[in-house]
Amino acid sequence: MLLLLGLLCSIWAEPAQGLEEDGGFRFEGDLRLLTVSNNFVYIATEEKLYQLSHDLVLIYSLTQRGILKNPNDENSQEFYRVSMNGAWDKTFTVNVLLPFVNNDTLISCGATEENCGYCEVLDLKNISKVLYKEPVQVGPLRSISGSVSFLVDVKKDSVHTETFILTAIENHRKTEEDSCPNDLETISLHNTNQKQPGDIFSLVDENRDKPWIQTDSVVGFVDGFQINSTVYLFSNVASANKPHKVRLIWLQAKTSKSETLKSLRGATLRTSDGGEGSKLLASSVIPGGQQVLWSGVFSLDGGPTNTELLLFDISPDGNDQTYTDPDFFYKPKKPDKQGFAS
């Protein structure tokens, strides 16, 4: 994969439209993602990317419409925004939006329609400045429903910590419409900067493996987060003719990508009647305390009306015995000779 390193450049920025008489704000296009950093709020819609203060005062907005240079070469495609009155033929749809506060950057990844994955690294304080861009898939290409992504801090040793992007992608059956090359598995860890082995967005580990977690089931992810050194992922799983089940998996973010993903452990979450066939609709962690308490809204029959709110203690049990998960499994892959940077 060729990396498109370049000079820091300004991209098209313009005042957002839609200010209302009462001081409210109307976004252009349907809201896709919202994320918050220490000082700003970032919102991606179908039409624009917005940067606001915490009291929701607009700072910058960027159109997501533009042109794609070198569209037939997946290794050197570049997306360029245009003015509102300029000619455009592509839309950059954002499916991953992550403030990397320690690096003063905003990671924005998604797809440019049929031309597959694309990522930009923006200035955290001024999203009108693009620091880096690359045609690469990080996270889902289309719908964000059933997929989650967040930053994970992996403690390399007593002094050093590395930050990676964890992507957990909905596992669906491939169709004829899936023409984009896809090098991702269900759960992956991507680099966040050029100094890490393999360079930015790479999947490889120090030993040149591409570690990831796979599944043979149909999986839709609902939530994921990190507390201390433990990473939590919640998903709805269906396999063969078996009823749906809700799965929680734990990962210990230590040493490396490989060791983190290899630490996979899991549990099946059941509703109060102990029955199967339930689905997780919503998730919320309860902060504070020595125990990790989590609440979830479960659908008892797969629909939106017959629901149950349950509270769980999801603290890791510290059991180091050999474990085999019924739905997910760790599998490293050696990259090809030309794929170390991918």
Tens of pLDDT along 104-130?
999 999 998 766 889 999 999 999 999
Residue 330 pairs with which residues in a beta bridge? 213
**Is residue 100 in a domain?**
yes
Report the pLDDT averaged over residues 183-202. Answer: 91
What pTM value is reported for the model?
0.87
In terms of Cα–Cα distance, which of 330, 102, 169, 314 is closest to 227? Answer: 314
How many of the other CB atoms lie within 10 Å of CB of 341? Answer: 17
Q: Would residue 260 be called left, alpha or beta, if left means φ above 0 and alpha means ψ between -120 and 50 degrees?
A: alpha
**Is residue 75 in a domain?**
yes
Least confident stretch, 175-179, 192-196, 282-286: 175-179
**Is residue 82 in a domain?**
yes
- Cα 294 to Cα 282: distance, rounded to the nearest angstrom: 11
pLDDT reported for residue 173: 54
Q: What is the DSSP string of 79-133?
A: EEE--TTS---EE-EEEEEEEEGGGTEEEEEEE-GGG-EEEEEEETTEEEEEEEE
- Cα 300 to Cα 215: distance, rounded to the nearest angstrom: 24
Give the model's confidence band at 32: pLDDT under 50 very low, under 70 low, under 90 confident, else very high. very high
**Is residue 97 in a domain?**
yes
How many of the other CB atoms lie within 10 Å of CB of 70? Answer: 13
Contact 298, 278 (CB under 8 A): yes
- Number of domains, the chain: 1
**Is residue 83 in a domain?**
yes
pLDDT reported for residue 15: 42
User: What does R_g of the chain's alpha carbons equal in angstroms?
Assistant: 21
Residue, of 177 and 325, whose pLDDT is higher:
325
In terms of Cα–Cα distance, which of 331, 195, 239, 224 is closest to 283? Answer: 224
Secondary structure of residue 43 in the 3-state scheme: strand
pLDDT reported for residue 290: 83
**Is residue 81 in a domain?**
yes
Tell me the average pLDDT of the chain.
84
Pairing of strands 245-252, 230-238: antiparallel
Pairing of strands 210-215, 328-333: antiparallel
Q: Is the pLDDT confidence value at 132 over 90?
A: yes
**Is residue 72 in a domain?**
yes
Q: Which domain holds residue 94?
A: 1-136
- Cα 36 to Cα 19: distance, rounded to the nearest angstrom: 21
